[in-house]
Every structure is written in structure tokens, then in C-alpha cells.
């Protein structure tokens, strides 16, 4: 089941002391018209993504991100898995920057991979998990379902801050608002974990369409019962039968060869490592005002602008630019600063004051923002205007 939204590939890169087997299933559900989830795996890396964004944005974002991680992860260690996720983020941003239909698309992503333990120093094989967004990774410990990943959502922040119980969060009307995702900012914080595998371990990677429909106890029962592919199919069909309000996707992974389980139970899941490309982020920032996090991450035009600058300068399509025209946001034709005899010419503007914009957007405009076309410049300016409205309404 699931058809073209799931891809299984065989690719063996190096000899490992552990071997994993996986089964997956994906379903559009009973309400949505399009399946924006995506699942793919090789012998060594297993990925689930849940896309968002209008038109065809969501399905493109999840497919692009998943494919990037599958192709980009060449091992050997946890850091290379995190790098592959970063590359996936860039790929989503680049696609969005060049296609107005895809503007604003994003995706969650969680992945599990076999890696060299302890930073690739030739340590024993380990499992690495990465996560951004609110898809989840679970491990089945005996009959108990243990969450590996933390959700990056508004309600999860409120639960961690002690302002909401997990029962309240599970039915909260705003539970789909994410605080982190791929395709939103240039350098997102990515959570990762590393732990030793044991033969018989079962992991579940899934989109929120599963755990919003089924209780943990039921997921645990189904997860432990039968071969992985059958389990995947049953989890999905039961979630669809229970309501199917969203796309449902699961990837069940079992360690079929590896060290024996330690007697006396598994050690607990370690704390996540939170990092950006600029370094480790130590605190979880649960004390921050969640609305502030939302404003800086969701629909952050400044970040999109920064990426647009990066992408567009890479491709050197600098026929137009957005700049400052005596305090107004304006579009100019030509290159900022002019090239020899060719000075930029004012094209349009005068209906948006620079002073109304936030500091980083204003700074980017004063620096000038090159764009490939006039339409692209207009789109970005439209984005600044929408962001003003969003900020105003979320303050109100």
C-alpha cells in the first residue's frame, strides 16, 4: 500500500556488525486529497517526512528532503547524518526560492541510521536518530513504547514549560503549529541521538497522522506483533480506520543482527544533542515566549530573504534588486551599485516604508536583495507585507 509515496532502495556501503530490516506503509487518510508524507529507506538509513504548504508544496518538500537525506547520507557517523539533513534543508529552500507555487513549503523529517559509534572513531556500530518537526521516532522496550524524539511544536513547548498536560496537548486545536521544520530557516536546529543497538530492537518512525489517531498502548501492541511489513500495514490501516484525519505514514525498523540485549533492561534514551551548523545549541529554550519562537521561525521572511540572497548570488541572476529608495522599499533594474556605465534604474515602489519592517529584513533591503526577475522581487515584497500582517495579528 502507499504506492509512489514510498521508496525502498538497496544500497550497501560498508560492512556492519548489525543489520536492520524495515517495513513501511503510507496512506492519504480519509479527509485529505493529497498525501504530503514521504517515506524512503536504504539498508542503512530510514526516513519519514511530513510536508506542509499549499498547492503542491507539501508533497514536494517531503519528497525533496527525504531524497536528499537518502542520497546525502554516505556515513560514517552521526555528524554526517546531521549534515545530510542540513543539505536537505537547503534543497527545500532552493526549490521554494525558484518556484512561486512552492513558496513557504516546509517539512518535518525524522531519520534513523546505522553509524560508527562515538563520532566515527572506529567504535562499535551504533544507531543515530535525527529529528526536526513533529514526526516521531519510538523504540519498543519490551512492551513499552519509549519516545526517542521530542516534538518541535507549540503545544510540545507548552508541555515542556509545564503550562499544558500531554493529554491537553493531544487534543489542542493548535497542535499542528510547528516551531521548527525544514525549509523555514537557513540554519535550523537539528536534534540528534546516538545509542547502542540490540538484536530484536524495534523502532517506529511515523508522521503525526498515526499518533493523533492511536493511543500509545495500542501502537505498542501492534508494533510488537508480527513481521515488520505486516506491522507497518496494520498500524496504518488502524489509524485510517480510527479517523484518518491526516496522512498516515509509518516505517518499522528491526535490528535483526546485532549484539544481544543487555540483561536487566535497556539503558534509557540519552538526551538529544541540539545543533546548528554554527555549533551546539545547549539549552532547549523552554523559558522563551513560544509566540516569539513562532514569529522567528514560522514564516520568517528574513530567513527566506537571506536564503534568496544566497541562492540567487550562487546562480548570478542579478537582473533586479530590492533596495532602499529614500526610506521606501523599491525595486530596481540592474545590479546594485551599477557595473561600469550601467547604473541601476528605479522600477517601482513607494507603497511600503522601510521603517515598518523588522530589523533583519530592513538591513537586508538596505544591503540590497538581488532577484532574478521582477516577479520574484514583487513576491518577496508581498512576503514582507504579509509578514507585517501576521505579526500584527499574532500580537493582537
CB closer to Mn ion, 50 vs 68:
50
CB closer to Mn ion, 246 vs 254:
246
Query: What is the 3 state secondary structure string of the chain?
Result: CCHHHEEECCCCCCCCCCEEEEEEEEECCCCCCCCCEEEEECCCEEEEEEEECCCCHHHHHHHHHHHHHHHHCCCCCHHHHHHHHHHHHHHHHHHHHHCHHHCCCEECEEEEEEEEHHHHCCCCEEEEEEEECCCEEEEEECCEEEECCCCCEHHHHHHHCCCCCHHHHHHCCCCCCECCCECCCCCCCEEEEEECCCCCCEEEEECHHHHCCCCHHHHHHHHCCCCHHHHHHHHHHHHHHCCCCCCEEEEEEEEEECCCCCCCCCCCCCCCEEEECCEECCCCCCCCCHHHHHHHHCCCHHHHHHHHHHHHHHHCCCCEEEEEECCEEEEEECCCCCECCECCEEEEEEEEEHHHCCHHHHHHHHHCEEECCHHHHHHHHHHHHHHHHHHHHHHC
Q: What's the closest the beta carbon of residue 207 comes to Mn ion, in angstroms? A: 5
Q: What's the closest the beta carbon of residue 335 comes to Mn ion, in angstroms? A: 43
Q: Is 212 in the site for Mn ion (CB under 5 A)?
A: no
Bridge partners, residue 112, by sequence: 46, 129
Q: Can you tell me which of 185, 208, 213, 254 binds Mn ion, judged by CB under 5 A? A: 208
Q: What's the closest the beta carbon of residue 123 comes to Mn ion, in angstroms? A: 36
Q: What's the closest the beta carbon of residue 208 comes to Mn ion, in angstroms? A: 4
CB closer to Mn ion, 34 vs 292:
34
Q: What's the closest the beta carbon of residue 260 comes to Mn ion, in angstroms? A: 37
Q: What's the closest the beta carbon of residue 32 comes to Mn ion, in angstroms? A: 9
CB closer to Mn ion, 193 vs 211:
211
Q: What's the closest the beta carbon of residue 247 comes to Mn ion, in angstroms? A: 6
Q: Is 275 in the site for Mn ion (CB under 5 A)?
A: no
CB closer to Mn ion, 41 vs 207:
207
Q: Can you tell me which of 16, 23, 42, 50 binds Mn ion, judged by CB under 5 A? A: 50
Q: Is 107 in the site for Mn ion (CB under 5 A)?
A: no
CB closer to Mn ion, 246 vs 275:
246
Q: Is 150 in the site for Mn ion (CB under 5 A)?
A: no
Q: Can you tell me which of 192, 207, 297, 361 binds Mn ion, judged by CB under 5 A? A: 207
CB closer to Mn ion, 66 vs 207:
207
Q: What's the closest the beta carbon of residue 58 comes to Mn ion, in angstroms? A: 9
# residues contacting Mn ion (CB under 5 A): 5
Q: Which stretch binds Mn ion (CB under 5 A): 149-157, 243-251, 289-297, 374-382?
A: 243-251
CB closer to Mn ion, 36 vs 307:
36
List contacts with Mn ion (CB under 5 A).
Answer: 50, 207-209, 246
Amino acid at each position: 500500500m502507499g504506492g509512489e509515496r514510498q521508496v525502498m532502495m538497496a544500497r550497501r556501503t560498508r560492512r556492519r556488525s548489525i543489520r536492520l530490516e524495515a517495513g513501511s506503509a503510507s496512506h492519504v487518510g480519509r479527509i485529505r486529497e493529497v498525501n504530503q508524507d514521504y517515506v524512503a529507506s536504504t539498508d542503512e538509513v530510514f526516513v519519514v517526512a511530513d510536508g506542509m504548504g499549499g498547492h503542491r508544496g507539501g508533497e514536494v518538500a517531503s519528497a525533496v528532503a527525504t531524497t536528499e537525506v537518502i542520497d546525502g547520507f554516505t556515513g560514517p557517523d552521526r555528524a554526517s547524518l546531521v549534515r545530510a539533513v542540513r543539505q536537505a534543508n537547503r534543497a527545500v529552500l532552493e526549490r521554494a526560492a525558484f518556484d512561486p507555487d512552492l513558496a513557504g513549503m516546509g517539512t518535518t523529517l525524522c531519520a534513523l541510521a546505522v553509524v560508527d559509534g562515538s563520532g566515527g572513531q572506529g567504535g562499535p556500530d551504533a544507531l543515530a536518530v535525527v529529528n526536526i518537526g513533529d514526526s516521531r521516532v519510538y523504540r519498543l522496550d519490551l512492551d513499552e513504547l519509549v519516545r526517542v524524539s521530542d516534538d518541535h511544536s507549540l503545544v510540545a513547548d507548552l508541555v515542556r514549560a509545564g503550562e499544558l498536560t500531554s493529554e491537553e496537548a493531544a487534543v489542542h486545536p493548535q497542535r499542528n503549529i510547528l516551531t521548527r521544520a525544514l525549509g523555514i530557516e537557513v540554519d535550523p536546529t537539528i536534534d540528534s541521538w546516538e545509542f547502542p543497538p540490540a538484536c530484536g530492537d524495534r523502532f517506529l518512525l511515523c508522521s503525526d497522522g498515526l499518533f493523533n489517531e492511536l493511543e500509545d498502548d495500542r501502537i505498542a501492541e501492534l508494533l510488537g506483533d508480527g513481521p515488520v511489513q505486516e506491522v507497518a500495514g496494520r498500524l496504518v490501516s488502524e489509524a485510517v480506520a480510527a479517523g484518518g484525519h491526516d496522512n498516515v505514514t509509518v516505517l518499522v525498523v528491526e535490528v535483526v543482527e546485532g549484539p544481544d540485549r543487555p540483561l536487566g533492561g535497556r539503558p534509557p534514551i540519552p538526551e538529544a544533542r541540539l545543533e546548528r551548523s554554527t555549533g551546539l545549541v545547549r539549552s532547549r529554550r523552554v523559558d522563551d515566549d513560544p509566540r516569539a519562537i513562532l514569529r522567528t521561525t514560522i514564516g520568517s521572511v528574513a530567513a527566506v530573504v537571506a536564503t534568496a540572497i544566497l541562492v540567487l548570488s550562487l546562480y548570478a541572476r542579478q537582473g533586479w534588486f530590492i533596495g532602499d529608495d529614500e526610506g521606501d522599499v523599491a525595486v530596481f533594474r540592474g545590479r546594485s551599485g551599477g557595473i561600469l556605465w550601467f547604473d541601476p534604474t528605479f522600477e517601482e515602489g513607494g507603497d511600503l516604508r522601510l521603517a515598518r519592517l523588522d530589523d533583519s529584513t530592513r538591513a537586508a533591503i538596505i544591503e540590497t536583495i538581488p532577484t532574478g526577475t521582477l516577479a520574484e522581487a514583487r513576491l518577496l515584497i508581498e512576503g514582507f507585507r504579509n509578514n507585517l500582517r501576521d505579526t500584527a495579528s499574532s500580537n493582537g
